[in-house]
Amino acid sequence: SAVISQKPSRDICQRGTSLTIQCQVDSQVTMMFWYRQQPGQSLTLIATANQGSEATYESGFVIDKFPISRPNLTFSTLTVSNMSPEDSSIYLCSVEGSSGSYDEQFFGPGTRLTVL
């Protein structure tokens, strides 16, 4: 299985500012995914980050608002830019890892963001 850590675990930010969330994995992985989970809601994919290429964003998410870096096979960052209260969510990264015979997606612990 993959061990994933995220920093920060939580933060309270002022509107108009930006926050960069870090995701670190204990093994090299090809694809990393960033999800958003709004309060009481399901998980929505923001983008897929492959090392060495631009991130692929899902409908409704744009690079200017959520720039992503993927400098190597164990690390990625997601920035939430020019924040508003609507950005208050839990942000989770996930990776594919091996668990026995098959791969599965493992999630990081999440970053709980509150925007005032």
Partner 1 sequence: GENVEQHPSTLSVQEGDSAVIKCTYSDSASNYFPWYKQELGKRPQLIIDIRSNVGEKKDQRIAVTLNKTAKHFSLHITETQPEDSAVYFCAASYLAGGTSYGKLTFGQGTILTVHP
Which residues 56-85 are close enough to bind partner 1 by CB under 8 A?
58-59
Least distance CB 53 / partner 1 (angstroms): 15
Window 1-60: residues binding partner 1 (CB under 8 A): 30-31, 33, 41-45, 48, 58-59
Maximum separation of any 2 CA atoms in the chain, in Å: 46
Q: What is the CA radius of gyration of the chain?
A: 14
Whose Cβ is closer to partner 1: residue 75's or residue 107's?
A: 107
What does the block give as tokens for 71?
Answer: 């400098």
Cβ-based nearer residue to partner 1, 84 or 103: 103
Q: Shortest distance, CB of residue 45 to partner 1, whole angstroms?
A: 5
Number of H helices, E strands in the chain: 0, 11
Counting contacts by CB under 8 A, is residue 96 touching partner 1?
yes
Q: Are 71 and 28 in contact (CB under 8 A)?
A: no
Residues 48 and 35: their CA atoms lie apart, in Å, by 9
CB of 111 to partner 1, least distance (A): 11
